[in-house]
Structure 1
Amino acid sequence: MAALLEGRVAIVTGAGRGIGRAHALELARHGAAVVVNDHGVTNAGEAAGDSPADEVVAEIEAAGGRAVANGADVADFAQAEAMVRQAVETFGGLDVLVNNAGFVRDRMLVNTSEEEWDAVIRVHLKGHFAPLRHAGAYWRTEAKEGRQRAARVVNTTSGAGLQGSVGQATYSAAKAGIAGLTLVAAQELGRYGVTVNAVAPVAKTRMTEGAFDTSAMALPEDNSPVVAWLASTDSGDVTGRVLEIDGSVLTVETGWAHGPARDAGARWRAADVGPAVRALLAQAPEPEPVYGS
């Protein structure tokens, strides 16, 4: 029986440690050639002086797989383009993009600095956009030239972005943006044979240690089989979805949806808004609690 990802080429960003490393190893185990991206920064996004990407590549090659290291800053537009080009030039194409890179700088909202906000939004949100933009352009060209690929994008959001998380306003905003980006990209790139989904992984990693009790949390590799399937040709009928993975529990996140509505028949009067909103809220389901509340 052929491996699930035999012959496919994948990029995994932030793949030197934690969840990204587990994804890279899992994709390689299923037959994919992998560009292992890691910019080599600390958990707070500061320069660490070294990148563990080479270690992951060596581990993949020792197991008989194919991989190459990449040290791009994924939020740098030109470096993201070069990363996509490296995959194509090294392995002959690109089929899968797993956007995973990120870091946290947790602060209560009123203590968050402008620099902290900009840094977290940049690496998570722009760091998803830039690789996706260049990979999408490549897949569009392939489709127009009669070489349409069964391409797959797996973005990384979080429960913090879907339900909110006290002390993580910046991170939550970035991860919510990634969920929105996933919906739009799925619609825009579908015509070129590309599916775009997102996962919300739950795992004990550098990013979660110290923030709360992680003793009962799943391991990073517990998330990766779902990513491997989403990266496969078998997942072609699934797009624009967010899947939360919490150990053995797999959940489809339903996201924002139109709820109860009332039509005033004319421009609303301010005095009528309060009673109408309260009546509508009485008909609507209670929102899920914010993490940490």
Structure 2
Amino acid sequence: MTTVAVVTGAARGVGRGIALVLAEAGATVYLTDRESRDRRYSELPGTVEDTAEQVDERGGRGIPVPLDHTDDAAVAALFERVRAEHGGLDLLVANAFNGNALPFRGGPFWTLPLEHWRNMFDNGVRGHLVAAWHAAPLLIERRGLLVFTGLAQPGAEVIANHLFYDLAMTSVSRLAHDAAHDLRPHGVTALAVSPGFTRTEAIMAAFGGGTPPGSDSIEFPGRAVRALLEDPQVSRHAGRTITVADLAAEYGLTDVDAEVRSAAAGS
């Protein structure tokens, strides 16, 4: 049976990378993002239609769904469409997060714009929750997998020295923990995956197009998600927030850069 997945925030960055790796497994991937060819919000490259075409090129089926995850009715319509077309869902990756909507600079909380609450919590944490709320019955139909993307930095006093970001990322971890508690009796595993320093379009723009040292490709988190999806014992990870690096070590994953270097050394 073909894997049916929904990846939110898939026009660029980690969401796009996850969708591309799922495509290599032949998945049908519903791709959501508010960045579309008809309506742009950022000067960064990438639209939901672009990602859908790339998914098709990789061997999957990409279904672009221009969508703002603060629009509850539109989110509900997406999952009703999935139900009508497939009857169930194997994987939801709740990834949409508008953390870069404002200039991202840390500092004392009273110096940070209150607008960060909207772009990090309404677009991010609440968007994750609403997507999961609609997806849960569909995931139960197929005993599927629910992945939230977040950030794990247990040793940080304040993550990124930014109170709003710290609260949002901590909330995603608790969301994964609590969702796992409720879904476990129904055969659905929920967890959070924490990417490392990843070469998203925003990061590449900030570095002037150069390759930041110690960074991962956008497909590395995708390889971690695919490994989880294909693991028959994935339920052991329920409720956890796990870094991509830890998943790579557990599953023996390499990043695309490592494969390129290996191929070059062998030629």
TM superposition score category, shorter chain reference: 0.7 to 0.9
CA shift in 2, pair 1:83/1:64, >3 Å? same
CA shift in 2, pair 1:100/1:92, >3 Å? same
Determine if the alignment matches structure 1 residue 11 to structure 2 residue 11.
no
Q: Which moved more, 1:99-108 or 1:193-202?
A: 99-108
1:70 Cα deviation from its structure 2 partner: 0.9
- Equivalent position of 2:152 in the other structure: 159
- Equivalent position of 1:83 in the other structure: 78
Secondary structure, counterpart of 2:172 in structure 1: helix
TM-score normalised per structure 1: 0.71
Q: Which has the higher contact order (CA 8 A, sep 6+)?
A: 2
Q: Percent identity?
A: 26
What amino acid does structure 1 have at the position aligned with 2:213?
S
1:250 Cα deviation from its structure 2 partner: 4.4
Determine if the alignment matches structure 1 residue 227 to structure 2 residue 220.
no
- Equivalent position of 2:114 in the other structure: 114
CA distance in 2, matches of 1:130, 1:87: 15
What amino acid does structure 1 have at the position aligned with 2:114?
E
**1:154 and 1:231 in contact (8 A); partners too:** no
What amino acid does structure 2 have at the position aligned with 1:97?
L
The structure whose Rg is larger is 1
- Give unmatched runs, 5+ long, in structure 2: 251-267
**1:218 and 1:246 in contact (8 A); partners too:** no
Aligned pairs (5 A) from 1:188-227: 188-202=182-196, 203-208=198-203, 210=206, 214-227=212-225
* Cα deviations by residue, 1:29-79 (Å, 9 ceiling, x for unpaired): 1122100111118xxxx8249961111111222333212101111233222
1:205 Cα deviation from its structure 2 partner: 1.7
Secondary structure, counterpart of 1:7 in structure 2: coil
CA distance in 1, matches of 2:59, 2:124: 32
What amino acid does structure 2 have at the position aligned with 1:132?
A
CA distance in 2, matches of 1:117, 1:242: 22
Aligned pairs (5 A) from 1:3-152: 7-40=2-35, 47-48=41-42, 52-104=47-99, 105=102, 106-107=104-105, 108=107, 109-139=109-139, 148-152=141-145
- Give unmatched runs, 5+ long, in structure 1: 1-5, 141-147, 252-293
Secondary structure, counterpart of 1:243 in structure 2: strand
**2:11 and 2:32 in contact (8 A); partners too:** yes
Secondary structure, counterpart of 2:35 in structure 1: coil
- Equivalent position of 2:175 in the other structure: 181
CA shift in 2, pair 1:111/1:160, >3 Å? farther
**1:13 and 1:99 in contact (8 A); partners too:** yes
1:162 Cα deviation from its structure 2 partner: 7.1
Count of aligned positions: 234
What amino acid does structure 1 have at the position aligned with 2:111?
N
**1:124 and 1:175 in contact (8 A); partners too:** no
Secondary structure, counterpart of 1:223 in structure 2: helix
Answer 1 or 2: which has greater helix percent. Answer: 2
- Equivalent position of 1:243 in the other structure: 242
Secondary structure, counterpart of 2:83 in structure 1: helix
Secondary structure, counterpart of 1:159 in structure 2: coil
CA shift in 2, pair 1:158/1:207, >3 Å? farther
- Equivalent position of 1:172 in the other structure: 166
What amino acid does structure 1 have at the position aligned with 2:78?
M
Secondary structure, counterpart of 2:70 in structure 1: coil
CA distance in 2, matches of 1:248, 1:196: 15
Q: Which moved more, 1:172-181 or 1:229-238?
A: 229-238
What amino acid does structure 2 have at the position aligned with 1:94?
L
TM-score normalised per structure 2: 0.77
CA distance in 2, matches of 1:246, 1:97: 21
RMSD: 2.7
